[in-house]
Structure 1
Amino acid sequence: MRRSEFFRAVEDEFQARASSLVHDLGLGALGGRTATEALDDGTPPRSIWLALCTEMEVPPERRHGVGRQEPRGR
């Protein structure tokens, strides 16, 4: 997962709450760091996404493959 895919996934899943969750929510699986802090520290975006999903109790079926753009038509 790329950084841009992470932000797209967060926006899609959490909509209006996305920004505050990324900047304010300390994630237990990441040592209490926010998603923004973890990204700045070099934590892979996929790990942060999964930690955020666990913390927010996102069902497993909505955790995988999100954030990707649809392939361009040829």
Structure 2
Amino acid sequence: MRRTEFDRLVTGEFGDAFGSWIAGSHVLSAFGATAGELVERGADLREVWWALCDDFDVPEDRRLGADE
């Protein structure tokens, strides 16, 4: 997954402001770090996205984002 896709999914699910806050401050239970920290470390963005979905109980049907 590319960074632009990751950002699109986060913004689409959580909105601009809340998505930015989540990425910068929520420590993902699966990784022990924030999404922002993991992105900087070069982590697999797909795994980071799935971890966000798990932590925030995003339903399966919304985990791939909105149909465009």
TM-score norm. by structure 2 comes to 0.89
Say yes or no: does 1:29 pair with 2:30.
yes
RMSD over aligned Cα, in angstroms? 1.6
**Going by fraction, where is strand more abundant, 1 or 2?**
2
The 3-state SS of whatever aligns with 2:30 is: helix
The residue aligned with 1:8 is: 8
Shift of 1:41: 1.1
| Partner-residue secondary structure (3-state), 1:6 | helix
1:7 Cα deviation from its structure 2 partner: 0.5
Q: Which has more radius of gyration? A: 1
Which protein, 1 or 2, shows the higher relative CO under an 8 Å CA cutoff with sep ≥ 6? Answer: 1
In the TM superposition, what is the alpha-carbon distance from 1:42 to its structure 2 partner?
Answer: 1.2
Q: Identity of paired residues, percent? A: 42
**Counterpart Cα distance in 2 of 1:8 and 1:67:** 10
Runs of 4+ with deviation above 3 angstroms: none
After superposition, the Cα gap between the structure-2 partners of 1:29 and 1:55, relative to the gap in structure 1 and judged at 3 Å, is same
Distance 2:24 2:66 in 1: 19
Aligned residues: 67
3-state DSSP class of the match of 2:58? coil
Residue 58 (structure 2) pairs with residue 63 (structure 1): no
Give the TM-score taking structure 1 as reference length: 0.82
